[in-house]
Every structure is written in structure tokens, then in C-alpha cells.
Amino acid sequence: MSRFLTIVITTIVTNINVAVTNIGEPDYNKILYGGVLSLEETESAFECHHIIQFAVSHVKKRYNLCEISEKDLKEVSIIKKLTVFYTRNEEEPYKVNISGTLQAFNFGTLHKFSLPWRCGQNISIHNFTIATYPEEMHHVYTHTFVSLGEPNSDYIPLLAIKRETEEINSKVEEPWCSKTWIPSDLLMLKCRRFCKSKCGNAFTVMTYNIWNTNTYSNNDAKYPARFKLLKKVLVREIPDIVAFQEVRYEHFKGGTLGPNQMKHLSDILKDYQFVYAPAQLDIYSIYNGKTEEGVAVFSRFPITAHNTFLLFRNRSNSADLHQRVCLHVQIQHPQHGVVNILTSHLSLSHEAREESVVQIWRYIKGLRGPVILTGDFNAEPQEKALRFLQGIESLRGEKTHCLADLWACTFPQSEGFTFDSVAGELKKRIDYIFWQNIFGDLQMKDIRVLESTGKRSKAASDHLPVVASFC
């Protein structure tokens, strides 16, 4: 623990403010995410040279690229900087008394910028979000890129991947093909599209709540062993797109792997673009160091755009203490064009879930192209929030259409439980993949709940991953 953090924690303990009682919804325009104010600054590339170099080193570790030129580095002129100011009342920064002076408490910075990279006539634009905490410690939260122009005939593909041999060899052809695929009359009628049991060029989408940095024994040192089980799941399946929930940065945790789970995941999924959306900075961060949790999407296809929006929260409800978000990424598929991937981890509160699914639906209505909605919704199929998404019930004057719960449509007689594998008994289906295909020719091929790696200490997570294939 740094001397500065020790001083701050001691100061907080001796000078802690009177607890703040928050009532009703927060002012979403004032917060970046739960517990963090939205205060934006700008910096020049010169001021952030070390952060840009860190981003360059991240790219070079994963892709066979030429050396980046000084000209390209100079084109990173303006960087969006956000200081992660902690707030308890979600109105103003939380202040602590340091050496007799009240100072706003922050957990480092976020830097967002785009970096051009030229190799001959080939150009790629790399987009980054870099988190810095503690001082001089950088973490890649988001890295996406697009290639501009056609490669020369004698040019090695610009983004040739540095993949380990065992990872390449571990891929088996179409491991997800199901001999028990059941075409759904409901799905066919509902969306006027015919599902195919056999089709070429299929791609897979996985949703997976990875149980943050928990361990079965509550021993932090056991986390790397559990993460090895998670790695086996990902390497065995090699999904093309993965939506993760409960992804954490947890200072002083992570054992030998370190505190940043986005790094743990990107070290496995080395040829994937990724976006991380923190949802909540934990209140105990002021004692234990920065702890935040959110959702993420990894994609083997280019991520051309992404957006995060805050979901409803009633701070008066004890079941709704944490801010929730929905992350939307647009991927560019070589056959299907733009495909919209959304993921969320919904509240423990019935009220918040119902408000949130209406928000998500209203957002989906503004999208063009196929939509795949994924996540841990903390609700079973019979609950109102899920019946709304399935188009069975109306909420707030809204009713969904052509949004299919793929498991329910494909295997209506199967419970498809996804939780709780750590307890050793699966009791609930709360992890979902929904699909809407009004715009486009994307077809659903198959959906599976993957078997557990084991019970209790042998479980990779308390949730099972769900994988759907499309073509």
C-alpha cells in the first residue's frame, strides 16, 4: 500500500463525513457511472506521452505491425481526460481532510484517444480508453480498431495476430453444432425468419457472468486458480463475441494476476477488440483502494462504435444500491454488415429491472441492423421484466416485438438453468441471449448452456455461460 493511500485512509477514518441519505433517482447527467462524477478535461498528446506509449506497447504485444512513426504519434493532438472523482451523494466530489485541507478524493484518471497507425499504404485507427490508478500504473479498459484501405498484394495482413500455438490448435471445427437442434414455430412466426439447422460461416456469441474476483474459500490467493478454469472455458469454445458481466478492477486483489480483470481476459483473448463499461465504484474503495465493477464485450470482428447508458436506479431501495449500465457495441461482420451487441447486468430490485428493460427496449427501437441482447438479468423467465422482453406483457406503455428469447423459443420444455454452479445445484435461468432480426438476414443456428467445469471450488464461476450461434 502506498504511503499516500495509507495517509488518506487514516484521514478518512478519523474525519469521515456524516452518512448521506440518497433518495430517489440520481441525476444521471452528473455522474459518469455509480459513485463517479462526470467531469471532463482535455490534455495534449505531449502531456500524455507516456500513456500513448503504453497504448502502443499494448498493440505491439498482440499484433505484427510496423514501427509507428513520430508523425502518427503527433496526430494524437487532443486527449479526453476524465478524473475519477469519487462521490457519495452523486452531486459533488467526496472530500477528505489531508494536512488540514479539504481535498476532493479521486481514483486516478481515464484517458480516451484515437491513434492512427500507418504501414505503407495501410492505415488503422486504434481507439483507446486507458485507466491510470494508482499514479503511473496504466490499464487498458478499451481497445478497438478499424483498418482503412485495401492491403497491397505483397503486404502481410495489417493486423496479423500473435497467437500461441496451443490456442490455435485448441480450436476444433464447429464444436457447438447441436444434434438436438429444435426449430421453433414460435420464433419463425414471431419474426418471419426461418432458423437454419445447417448453414455456413456461422459465428458464436457467448454471455458469461464471471463472478468478479470471488473464490469459493474467500481466499484471495485462490483467484488465479479459479481464473485458470475460466480460461479453459474460453480457449475450448473460442467464441467470436463474448459479453462478460461482473468484470472488476479491484486494487490489492487478483493475486499474482494483478487487479485488472480486463487485462486477465485480454491476455487470453489476444486477437479480440474489447470495450469495458464500469457501472459502479464501490463505496469501500476509500478504505480498500479502487474497486469497480462493470460489463465488457470482446469481439473478433471490428468494433466500429460503442455506447454506454445508465439504467434506472432508485436509491431509496436497499436492493438497488448499485448503478447498472447497458453497453452497446456495433461490430462489422464480413457477411452481415453491422450487428448490434448489447449486454447488461440488471439490478436485484424488481422495480429497477422493469424500468431498465423498458429503457433498453426504447434504445433498441432506434437501432438498425440485427440486435443481440445478452446478460445476467437477475430475473427468471416468469418475472414481469422477462415477460416484457419476450413480448408477453406490456410495461410503461411499451411492448416489444420480434425480440426472441432464444433458449425459450428453441427449447421451450427445457429449464436451461444457469445459476448457481458454485453452490453445486443449478436452480435458476437468469442469463439470456435475445435476438431481433427485423433488419438483415442473420439467422439463429443453435443455442447451448455450457456444462460446468465442476462444483464449488472446481467451478469457473457461479454462472454457466450461454452460447448461441448465428449465420
pLDDT higher for 318 or 384? 384
> What pLDDT score was predicted for residue 162?
43
**Of 372, 466, 457, 456, which is closest to residue 417 (Cα–Cα)?**
466
Q: What is the pLDDT of residues 29-79, one digit of tens each?
A: 999 999 999 888 888 877 889 999 999 999 999 999 999 998 888 888 778
Pair 347, 382: CB distance under 8 Å: no
Calpha distance 251→27 (Å, rounded): 28
> What pLDDT score was predicted for residue 381?
98
Q: Which residues, in sequence order, are CB contacts of 410 under 8 Å at separation 6+?
A: 181, 182, 183, 184, 187, 195, 444, 446, 447
Cell of 156: 502481410
Pair 9, 286: CB distance under 8 Å: yes
Q: What is the pLDDT of residues 86-124, one digit of tens each?
A: 999 999 999 988 889 998 989 999 999 999 999 988 999
**Helix 261-268 vs helix 223-237: angle between axes, to the nearest 10 degrees?**
40
**Of 106, 117, 113, which is closest to residue 141 (Cα–Cα)?**
113
Check whether 190 has a pLDDT greater than 70: no
pLDDT higher for 196 or 295? 295
Calpha distance 265→301 (Å, rounded): 17
The helix/strand count (H/E) of the chain reads as 11, 21
Q: What is the pLDDT of residues 434-453, one digit of tens each?
A: 999 887 788 999 999 999 98
Check whether 165 has a pLDDT greater than 80: no
> What pLDDT score was predicted for residue 219?
86
User: Average per-residue pLDDT in the chain?
Assistant: 86
Check whether 256 has a pLDDT greater than 90: yes
Percent of the chain residues past pLDDT 70, beyond the cut: 85
Calpha distance 326→140 (Å, rounded): 20
Give DSSP secondary structure letters for 245-271: EEEEEETT-SGGG-SBHHHHHHHHSTT
- Residue ranges and CATH numbers for the domains of the chain are 3-148 (no CATH), 181-470 (3.60.10.10)
> What pLDDT score was predicted for residue 416?
96
Q: What is the pLDDT of residues 118-151, one digit of tens each?
A: 998 899 999 999 999 998 899 999 999 999 864 4
Q: Which amino acid is at 310?
A: L
